[in-house]
Structure 1
């Protein structure tokens, strides 16, 4: 439906190693976002517990106590919440985005694992395989996580599945050139899929004073929204903050018609 517009809040916060404390952070941030009119409230990757701690010790199923508490928060405020958590998977875990509220309760398991820049996520995390979309007020939203942003085909698959916008949860690793890469990648994925991309990162723990493992990817802030033609419409700094954006399907439809990025794709070579 071309006239659909949904208000989305991105909560740039720093999670701790304590899932219970992080639930209290979710409650307060959701209240702020809902008071600002958000219908969808997005939290970063690893909201349940930040990277650099034993993930298997905190992992729970999406029907477990932690996800059920998030489900109740969503119900209390009449919103959809997207929040990064970890779910069990044999000897490893899944890096999962919990999607709960407004009739939804499911998870997206991160497909592309961060075996890059000297880090090996696959040592402790098993990859997902399936694209996930949810619909809020007739707007279809795709879901992706952090390192997924380096792979254009995923965003085009989500567009093919009807998504006009992609919720991108991240805990971006710091380092030389990484902030610049983050913005370039978000804008590129928006442009080459003709979709809004809403990148919600962990706030920089150096700003919040949170103690983290310096070798783990624990966020740099700089959350941003790129429209379907790749222009940045909203951005944050490095510290905790709330970003509110109104996202519509019509802009995605118009941009895809203008650029032809989906219609003009050639078949992949054999």
Structure 2
């Protein structure tokens, strides 16, 4: 399975963003990628969220997703991209990753669960959270991908739920807000989620100045298979899915979990068994 992460520098010009998605998708397909992952807010992005995101929102059956479906069809790829999806609350749309098959069919839509109310920003003022916390996966051949968005990366339980649901690859679309140590945290958390769950991780991030860039594809031990730095572009890697079983045999953490062992409510540790 050959996978690509695309790193655009999206802005608030939807037509220009779609043209760039088409260009990067063509580059990835030309390098043999079967699945191409674009970041959060790939079709509409600004330095800070505001009321214009609601005005840019469309249903998944609208013209923007039709254009994305056409790009997937034209290049014969599975394409995943972040869109602003109209919600039942018009002033607060969904932040959604939409996946399209090579035929242009919508095969998955993941609405962001954990909104970025941090670092002086409040995504929840302008975006609705997902109505459920159910993991969202889709299959390409015999490979299962699990979808996550940006701030979700800081919540390891979602990655574990996706792995439990069968995900072999975590596809993470992000617009990781810059700041002190933020690039280091992005890279560390990508590797941690790969290692935690013995899965491949594909992390696509918006390029600077809005975001930090440094999109990467990692193996189930956290090793970097392909990476970008700050500039827009595409990184491609071949995923040897057979490695997952061997790593999980060596480190059977999923079977060794002891979720019933909890810290007591008075915040003291239980007495050790004798």
Contact preservation (8 Å) 2:148, 2:173? yes
Contact preservation (8 Å) 2:144, 2:168? yes
Whether 1:148 aligns to 2:140 is no
Deviations 1:127-182 (A, max 9, x none): 11221111112111111110011111111111111111111101011011101111
Q: Which protein has greater RCO, CA pairs closer than 8 Å, 6+ apart?
A: 1
Matched position secondary structure for 1:92: coil
Q: Which has the higher strand share?
A: 1
Contact preservation (8 Å) 2:24, 2:233? no
Whether 1:87 aligns to 2:85 is yes
TM score, norm. by length of structure 2: 0.89
Alignment partner, residue 209 of structure 1: none
Which consecutive unaligned segments of at least 5 residues does structure 1 have? 1-5, 206-217
Alignment partner, residue 173 of structure 1: 177
Contact preservation (8 Å) 2:75, 2:102? no
Deviations 1:19-39 (A, max 9, x none): 111111111111111111010
Change (3 A) 1:268 1:183: farther
Change (3 A) 1:186 1:21: same
Whether 1:100 aligns to 2:100 is yes
Contact preservation (8 Å) 1:164, 1:248? no
Matched position secondary structure for 1:119: coil
Matched position secondary structure for 1:198: strand
Larger radius of gyration, structure 1 or 2? 2
Alignment partner, residue 265 of structure 1: 257
Moved over 6 A (4+): none
Distance (whole Å) between structure 2 residues aligned to residue 153 and residue 256 of structure 1: 18
Alignment partner, residue 243 of structure 1: 235
State the 1:102 CA deviation: 3.3
Q: How many residues align?
A: 253
Alignment partner, residue 266 of structure 2: none
Distance (whole Å) between structure 2 residues aligned to residue 150 and residue 261 of structure 1: 19
Alignment partner, residue 195 of structure 1: 199
Alignment partner, residue 64 of structure 1: 62
